[in-house]
Amino acid sequence: MRRKLFALVLSCVLASSLAAGAQTGVVRPGDQWRDNHGRLIQAHGGGITFWKGMYYWFGEDRSRDNDPAKRYVACYSSRDLMHWRFCGKSLALSDPEHLGPGWVLERPKVFVNASTGKFVLYAHLDDAHYSFARVMVAVSNRIQGPYKYVKSYRPLGEESRDIGQFVDDDGSAYLIFESRPTHGFFIARLTGDFMNVEKTCFLPAPLEGGALVHLRGTYYVVGSHMTGWKPNPNVYATAPALTGPWTEFRTLAPAAARNYGSQSTMLLKVAGSKVTTVIFMADQWHPDALWDSRYFWMPLEMGAGNMHLPPPRPWSIDATTGETIFSAAGR
């Protein structure tokens, strides 16, 4: 009965609030998604940091009115994962390593260091040809920033391009990074001050957009093939420990769907009072209009070592119970 009522209310909200860019409380994968000011959310290649009861969504800010010489990371906060409040540009960075025109800052992720009390932002830093291949680190005393640039480096001495973020149930924090010369990617634990990493595992699979989740004793790692901005069938493998052994990679969705036009960026675990839901967070890139790239978030169907990405349709989550509900109308 309660579920029916919830579905009814959801349909009414959907019907009545699609006008004028209002926040609907419904995730519509691939549609434009707006913040509390009615502006398009700018958090591409993003990640979510949960801190003191609040979700913070960080990502590439590709706003059209940005200073073209700088690169930006925007921050949004939410308690319910559906309504997002803009909390400012966390980073507005001038070319920190003299990388030249077209330099790149991508896939920013923020880690909370409980022992130092600092917030540490990692991102992929590169030149226009993607040959610099490093991570950059910036630090702040406040989660929303502003973040101050500290340094760039090659994790484990390796070339690093796409990065991903993972925080395990015991609080330990990991950087995932793709490393082309090795034909694979690394899962690397952050050192105590989060200023460096140490090797946890190397997976000999040339995948990027790396993301990880730990669910009921199994680790699931997800990645996309290297086709630039173009979508491809994203894949996953599982292991009983981060150090492996990892299974073969399998597709998340039928290969022909090419992941519904999306590329992985993060797996968000919402451990609710009733159920645990894992949200597949991905980007649908619009390379000629990156500011209008879309977000593709869908709850995953998971269990017994399997992970399935269902076709997109509008949905909603109760972030307290973890329960998801799909719009009855389908769209």
Q: Which residues bind ligand GAL (CB under 6 A)?
A: 45, 106-107, 162, 208-209, 226, 228-229, 263
Query: Which is nearer to ligand GAL, 122 or 315 (by Cβ)?
Result: 122
Q: How far is CA 106 from CA 67, 142, 244, 270, 303, in A?
A: 16, 21, 28, 25, 32
- Rounded to an integer, what distance in angstroms lies between the CA atom of residue 258 and that of residue 50? 30
Radius of gyration over every alpha carbon of the chain, rounded to an integer in angstroms: 19
Query: Which is nearer to ligand GAL, 162 or 318 (by Cβ)?
Result: 162
**8 A C-beta contact, residue 124 and residue 106:** yes
Q: Give Cα 315 distance to the centre of its chain.
A: 18
**8 A C-beta contact, residue 85 and residue 36:** yes
Q: Which residue of the chain is nearest ligand GAL when measured via CB?
A: 228
Query: Which is nearer to ligand GAL, 34 or 161 (by Cβ)?
Result: 161
Query: Which is nearer to ligand GAL, 29 or 45 (by Cβ)?
Result: 45
Query: Which is nearer to ligand GAL, 209 or 312 (by Cβ)?
Result: 209
Least Å from the CB of residue 261 to ligand GAL: 14
Least Å from the CB of residue 330 to ligand GAL: 30
Least Å from the CB of residue 170 to ligand GAL: 29
Least Å from the CB of residue 79 to ligand GAL: 29
Residue of 47, 68, 69, 65 lying closest to 57 (CA atoms) = 47
Q: What is the SS3 assignment for 5?
A: helix
- Rounded to an integer, what distance in angstroms lies between the CA atom of residue 235 and that of residue 248? 10
Least Å from the CB of residue 294 to ligand GAL: 14
Query: Which is nearer to ligand GAL, 102 or 240 (by Cβ)?
Result: 102
Q: Taking the alpha carbons of 228, 177, 32, 301 in that order, is the dihedral positive or negative?
A: positive
Least Å from the CB of residue 194 to ligand GAL: 22
